[in-house]
Structure 1
């Protein structure tokens, strides 16, 4: 995960990032509910009182995981759309990148897909809004391609995008790091099939 903060970040920022990475390792291995703050502290080599100096609760760590994934995903999606030479290429690259990110961060995605019910509504809503904003970026790119090409889908844009993101996200379950395809190459394969529906 990328470090946050301006420039190189303060020592406290770096320590929080270490703690977050440790929490990801523990939560993905043990499950959020079974994991303890003692295990997170052990993972990063801190005493528990020191850990609590940087983070108040286990729930705060879970929220930070979601924020990290969604903020990175949204920023990446916006960059892709801004840089793409065409709406079609934007859609294709959005799907390639979604698969690549999912396959390269399977520990993060395991947490995000399995632990959402552990978030209380007041904490879940801002996270869900980030997710909706990411989905809007993808929907807008698809709608732009349909306008440019004069093509039509046999389903709503929302259904198409949900299907595409479901297929891309599910690769975290079956991608084999030792397999013949890299995350990027697998993304190209998946995007080829999904964008083919738009071109058909």
Structure 2
């Protein structure tokens, strides 16, 4: 990683902390510069706008999610296990990156349409990957769901993603254990 890439990574980490703590709208580039220990003109050498930082947060989350999901599906020993692992990983990632997910779930309206469109396309690609895993399981087992597969996927992702609001890092369950719990509740519908 080049020095410029290292500085950009530090800036993004600072932006995540500042945006998740203060809210995107209330945060300023001065806040980010101060957090990362740079002067504001130096910050602008690496990042053009506050919106660019917000887009970078979304890109990081969605790129990591897509890469992880593809790896999970490719390496799962069965279609059911692929779906189970996707749910567990989504819960674990959400719990482990609550600051990132707080921004993604609460600041989407801050993105102008031209910046939101590619991000929404990435999110749909992730959702479609999960949907394909569910449909592969249904085809392999000949089962059906009491709802559309997309509704099932949206319910699973909604349950997994909402943990950013209530997960307690000091609580009795680790992120992965909580993921196992959530999957245990959701999979019986798939097993129908």
Tell me, yes or no, whether TM beats 0.5: yes
Partner residue in 1 for 2:51: 59
Q: Does 1:34 align with 2:16?
A: no
Partner residue in 2 for 1:134: 126
Partner of residue 91 from structure 1, selected from 83, 105, 109: 83
Q: Secondary structure at the match of 2:80?
A: helix
Partner of residue 169 from structure 1, selected from 157, 161, 166: 161
Partner residue in 1 for 2:68: 76
Partner residue in 1 for 2:188: 196
Tell me how far 1:150 sits from its aligned partner. 1.1
Equivalents in 2 of 1:154, 1:197: separation in Å?
8
Equivalents in 1 of 2:110, 2:128: separation in Å?
25
Computed over aligned residues only, the root mean square deviation of the Cα atoms, in angstroms, reads 0.5
Equivalents in 1 of 2:165, 2:47: separation in Å?
30
Superposed, 1:12-51 pairs within 5 Å as 12-51=4-43
Superposed, 1:95-114 pairs within 5 Å as 95-114=87-106
Aligned length: 192
Tell me how far 1:103 sits from its aligned partner. 0.1
Tell me how far 1:196 sits from its aligned partner. 1.2
1:101-140 Cα distance to aligned partner (Å, 9 max, x none): 0000000000000100110101000000000000011000
Divergent runs of 4+, >2 A:
none
Partner residue in 2 for 1:115: 107
Partner residue in 2 for 1:5: none
Equivalents in 2 of 1:177, 1:196: separation in Å?
27
